[in-house]
Amino acid sequence: MQRLYLQFYLAILVVLAVFVGAAALLWRLADDDARTPQYFQVAAELTGALLPDSDAPVAEQQRAIEVLHRKLRFDIALYRSDGDLIARAGKPPPRFDVQRARPGWRRGPGAPNFTLQLPDGRWLVARQVRERPNPTVWITAFLALVALAIAVGAYPVVRGLGRRLERLKAGVEKFGDDLGARVKVEGHDEVAALAQSFNRSAARIEELVAAHRLLLANCSHELRTPLARIAVAASLLGDNADARTRDSLKRDIAELDHLIEEILLASRLDAQGGADVREPVDLLALAAEEAAHYDLEATGAPVTVTGDRLLLRRAIRNLLENARRHGGEGPVTITVTPQDGRARVDIVDHGPGVPPEERERIFEPFYRLARSRETGRGSGLGLALVRQIARRHGGSAVCLATDEGGSRFRIDLPAA
């Protein structure tokens, strides 16, 4: 994943690099353009005016060269038009070839040389006594230092912005597990406004979910009273009522009572984040007890988990009931195995199986497969409760395919 603050910082560095490069290039071009032939021609005329005429005595020309040497702090040599040395001051100049000489500026061994042809034909070669750095180099170095200072100063600002966004991201992720989570509002910019907007939205969502849970719990609780009255009325029918009608009524009452119980349990699990009871539970023994109610035998190895015994029992019972209803005529197996510090409960049936695209959706509340909707069996809450209970204990519940057909429902929990 690309970090946003690194992208900001890289953009700043690229802009600084382009700025320094463009400034150095423009300076170099401007510096080169300034050294035109007219510039050296004017310099030659001014220098010629300071020196004696070409037919003046050599001693006089030597004194003039020495004066220029002291004032300019240049090593200077004066040549005739045919290349013979007339006078010099300072270190010996490099070898001068009059046939190849031309007015201008060039870098010689150790220092730059200035070559001028005076109006009377003489040549003047000057070299700096102490070489000064190329202006393009030191200006580029100065701009690079400025860019470095900006880069160093910009990093804490960009990194601070990145940290705020990271904390905002962490708060949003935490909100997925805890509806009461909020993010800290820092600063007075757009990021702070985004944090405030998120907190307002989170508070509204928490209120809506709380209201939904309260309504669901109250409705489920209030349904118990008329359900009890119906049950009493059914029992008062006595032997005068039709047996089939009486049995159907009792089944409907039992199914409605079971549905209300599951709704109440689902509401309680939603309202509370972790398990209320933390006790060691032998998962194999618990599975064996529940399997015995369905004339089955649990196999595997003993493994202990920490959690609520009643909720774990309810999860295994729901899976066994689901296998009995939808598992077809084949046998149902239940296996408990420890693996890598985890405890697994596998319940395998030999029914028609679950289509791959619906293996996640069957764990949604009130979702039922098409064949279940046709037969009217089940409420669609059993598997949702299984996953809720598994997650409440730090585990997971999934539906897998088997090689022989059917389905494998697996609960994976951390072992104690």
329/247 same-domain check: no
266/348 same-domain check: no
256/299 same-domain check: no
Q: What is the pLDDT at residue 304?
A: 92
Q: What Cα–Cα distance (Å) separates residue 253 from each residue in 11, 233, 249, 365? A: 69, 11, 6, 21
Instruction: Tell me the backbone φ, ψ of residue 36, rounded to 5 degrees.
Output: -85, 165
Domains in the chain, number: 3
Question: In this structure, is residue 225 part of a structural domain?
Answer: yes
Residue type, 257: D
What H or E segment, with its residue span, contains residue 414? strand 407-414
Q: Which two tokens stand for residue 135?
A: 């202006």
Instruction: Mark residue 32 as left, alpha or beta (left: phi above 0; alpha: psi -120 to 50; beta: remaining).
Output: alpha
From start to end of 69-163, where are the E strands? Answer: 74-79, 85-89, 104-107, 112-117, 123-128
C-alpha to C-alpha distance for 305 and 309, rounded to whole angstroms: 10
286/397 same-domain check: yes
Cα three-residue angle 71-77-82, rounded to 5 degrees = 145
246/337 same-domain check: no
Question: In this structure, is residue 348 part of a structural domain?
Answer: yes
Instruction: Tell me the backbone φ, ψ of residue 117, rounded to 5 degrees.
Output: -105, 115
What H or E segment, with its residue span, contains residue 333? strand 333-339
**Could you tell me which of 327, 337, 336 has the C-alpha nearest to residue 289?**
336
CATH of the domain at 59: 3.30.450.20
- The radius of gyration of the chain's CA atoms, rounded to the nearest angstrom, is 47
396/335 same-domain check: yes
Are 112 and 127 in contact by the 8 Å Cβ rule? The answer is yes
pLDDT, tens digit, 9 for 90 and up, residues 48-70: 888 888 888 888 888 888 888 88
Q: What is the pLDDT at residue 2?
A: 53
295/405 same-domain check: yes
286/406 same-domain check: yes
Question: In this structure, is residue 21 part of a structural domain?
Answer: no
Q: What is the pLDDT at residue 28?
A: 67
Question: In this structure, is residue 171 part of a structural domain?
Answer: no
Q: What is the pLDDT at residue 107?
A: 59
Question: In this structure, is residue 322 part of a structural domain?
Answer: yes
Are 315 and 383 in contact by the 8 Å Cβ rule? The answer is no
Q: What is the pLDDT at residue 409?
A: 92
298/247 same-domain check: no
Characterize the bridge pairing of strands 333-339 and 112-117. unpaired
Which one of 78, 100, 132 terminates a domain?
A: 132
CATH of the domain at 200: 1.10.287.130
Q: What Cα–Cα distance (Å) separates residue 235 from each residue in 239, 245, 247? A: 9, 12, 11
Instruction: Tell me the backbone φ, ψ of residue 226, rounded to 5 degrees.
Output: -65, -30
Characterize the bridge pairing of strands 74-79 and 123-128. antiparallel
C-alpha to C-alpha distance for 198 and 195, rounded to whole angstroms: 5
Helices 243-271 and 190-236, packing angle to 10 deg: 160
CB pairs under 8 A, 24+ apart, for 134-142? 135/27, 135/31, 136/24, 136/27, 136/28, 136/31, 139/23, 139/24, 139/27, 140/20, 140/23, 140/24, 140/27
- Give the domain range for residue 127: 35-132
Question: In this structure, is residue 140 part of a structural domain?
Answer: no
What number of other Cβ atoms are within 10 A of residue 17's Cβ? 13
CATH of the domain at 364: 3.30.565.10
52/109 same-domain check: yes
Q: What Cα–Cα distance (Å) separates residue 232 from each residue in 26, 351, 406? A: 99, 38, 41
Which one of 271, 288, 317 terminates a domain?
A: 271
299/397 same-domain check: yes
C-alpha to C-alpha distance for 412 and 391, rounded to whole angstroms: 9
- Sites in the chain below the pLDDT cut of 70: 1-5, 7, 27-39, 92-95, 105-112, 129-136, 212, 214-227, 233-234, 236-241, 245-246, 252, 255, 258, 266-277, 370-379
Question: In this structure, is residue 71 part of a structural domain?
Answer: yes
Which one of 113, 132, 151 terminates a domain?
A: 132
Are 352 and 366 in contact by the 8 Å Cβ rule? The answer is no
Question: In this structure, is residue 233 part of a structural domain?
Answer: yes
Are 127 and 120 in contact by the 8 Å Cβ rule? The answer is no
Are 303 and 336 in contact by the 8 Å Cβ rule? The answer is yes
Helices and strands in the chain: count of H runs, count of E runs: 10, 12
- Taking the whole predicted model, whether its pTM rises above 0.85 is answered as no
284/384 same-domain check: yes
Q: What is the pLDDT at residue 33?
A: 45
